[in-house]
C-alpha cells in the first residue's frame, strides 16, 4: 500500500505521470472522504491521490471533510502527505507563478473541526508543522528544474469561500507571506496522527491589496499555466523521499499528539 499521498486538484493530477491501478472510497468515523482515493504509480512510486474538493470541484473550503480525508489516508498506511494548492501573495517579492514551500501558518478560520480529539482536552505542540525532509527534497527539485520558488513562507488560512476585502488583505500583509483557504485543519490533523506534511503552494495572484482584484477565473488560469511545473516537481521529488530521514512521527509522539488508534 502507498506510504505517500498527494492531496490536490485536477491540475496536479498528472494523468500522464500518475498511473491509476485501483480506487477505494472508505467509510471513516467522520464520514466519507472528499472523493474516491486513487492508488497507483507516480513515476514508479506507490502513491495515493485524493481530490481535496472532489474531482468536479463542488466542495467549498469550509465543507471539505478534512478529518475523513486524513483518517482514510492514515488507514491506508500513508506516512507522508503532500499538499498541492493555490494561494494569493501578500508580498511583492512573492509573485504569481512562483512556488512556495510553506514552513509556517496562521489560522484565521472560523467554522472548522480542528482536531480528532473532541471528547478530551489534548493540547498539541506544533512548533514545526511541516516536514523538513520533504520540504528540502522539493526545494532541491525546484532548483534542479529551474522553477522559481521560495524555501519558506507563512501561510494565513482564511475561512472562505469569498476572497479577502482590501482592508483584510492589507491587514494580513503584516503577518504572513501568502494567503489561502485549505491548509487548516488539514496540516494539523496529519500531525495529530503522526504523519508528515508538506505544502507546495502555487501563487496565482496578489490577493486584494494590489490594483487588480482576484477572481476565480484568474486563479484557474494561472494554475493551468503552472500545473506542468507541479507535476514535474512531483515526478522529480517523490522518488527521493526517504522514510528514514524524517522525525515527524517521533516529534508528534513526544508532543502528545498521537493519542488515537486508527
Helix (H), strand (E) at residue 109? none
Catalytic residue among 35, 205, 211, 244: 205
Catalytic residue among 35, 177, 207, 251: 207
List Cβ neighbours of 67 (8 Å cut-off, separation of 6 or more).
Answer: 28, 30, 113, 116, 185, 189
d(CA 254, CA 72): 24
Pick from 40, 29, 30, 37: nearest CA to 8: 37
Specify whether the CB–CB gap between 198 and 81 falls below 8 A: yes
Specify whether the CB–CB gap between 146 and 125 falls below 8 A: no
Torsion of CA 11, 240, 148, 144, to 10 degrees: -120
207 is catalytic: yes
Give the chain's end-to-end CA distance (angstroms, integer).
16
Query: Which residue intervals of 130-247 are DSSP H helices?
Result: 132-144, 166-172, 183-192, 216-237
For residue 158, the SS3 value is strand
Summary count for the chain: helices (H), strands (E): 6, 11
Question: Each residue of 82-99: b (16+ CB within 10 Å) or e?
Answer: bbbbbbbbbbeebebebb
205 is catalytic: yes
CA–CA distances in Å: residue 240 to residues 44, 69, 245: 12, 25, 11
Annotated catalytic sites, by residue?
A: 205, 207
Amino acid at each position: 500500500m502507498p506510504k505517500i499521498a498527494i492531496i490536490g486538484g485536477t491540475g496536479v493530477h498528472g494523468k500522464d505521470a500518475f498511473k491509476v491501478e485501483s480506487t477505494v472510497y472508505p467509510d471513516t468515523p467522520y464520514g466519507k472522504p472528499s472523493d474516491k482515493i486513487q492508488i497507483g504509480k507516480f513515476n514508479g512510486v506507490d502513491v495515493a491521490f485524493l481530490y481535496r474538493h472532489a474531482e468536479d470541484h463542488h466542495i467549498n473550503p469550509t465543507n471539505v471533510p478534512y478529518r475523513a480525508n486524513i483518517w482514510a489516508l492514515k488507514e491506508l498506511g500513508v506516512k507522508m502527505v503532500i499538499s498541492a494548492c493555490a494561494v494569493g501573495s501578500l508580498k511583492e517579492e512573492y509573485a504569481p507563478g512562483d512556488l512556495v514551500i510553506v514552513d509556517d501558518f496562521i489560522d484565521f478560520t472560523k467554522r472548522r473541526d480542528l482536531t480528532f480529539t473532541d471528547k478530551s482536552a489534548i493540547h498539541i505542540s506544533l512548533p514545526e508543522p511541516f516536514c523538513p525532509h520533504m520540504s528540502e527534497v522539493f526545494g532541491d527539485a525546484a532548483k534542479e528544474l529551474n522553477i522559481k520558488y521560495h524555501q519558506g513562507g507563512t501561510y494565513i488560512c482564511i475561512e472562505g469561500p469569498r476572497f479577502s476585502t482590501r482592508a483584510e488583505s492589507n491587514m494580513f500583509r503584516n503577518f504572513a507571506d501568502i494567503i489561502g483557504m485549505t491548509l487548516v485543519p488539514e496540516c494539523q490533523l496529519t500531525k495529530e496522527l503522526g504523519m508528515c506534511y508538506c505544502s507546495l503552494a502555487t501563487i496565482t495572484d496578489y490577493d486584494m491589496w494590489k490594483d487588480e482584484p482576484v477572481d476565480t477565473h484568474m486563479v484557474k488560469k494561472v494554475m493551468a499555466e503552472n500545473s506542468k511545473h507541479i507535476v514535474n516537481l512531483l515526478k522529480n521529488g517523490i522518488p527521493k523521499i526517504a522514510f528514514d530521514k524524517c522525525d515527524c512521527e517521533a516529534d508528534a509522539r513526544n508532543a502528545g499528539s498521537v493519542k488515537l488508534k486508527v
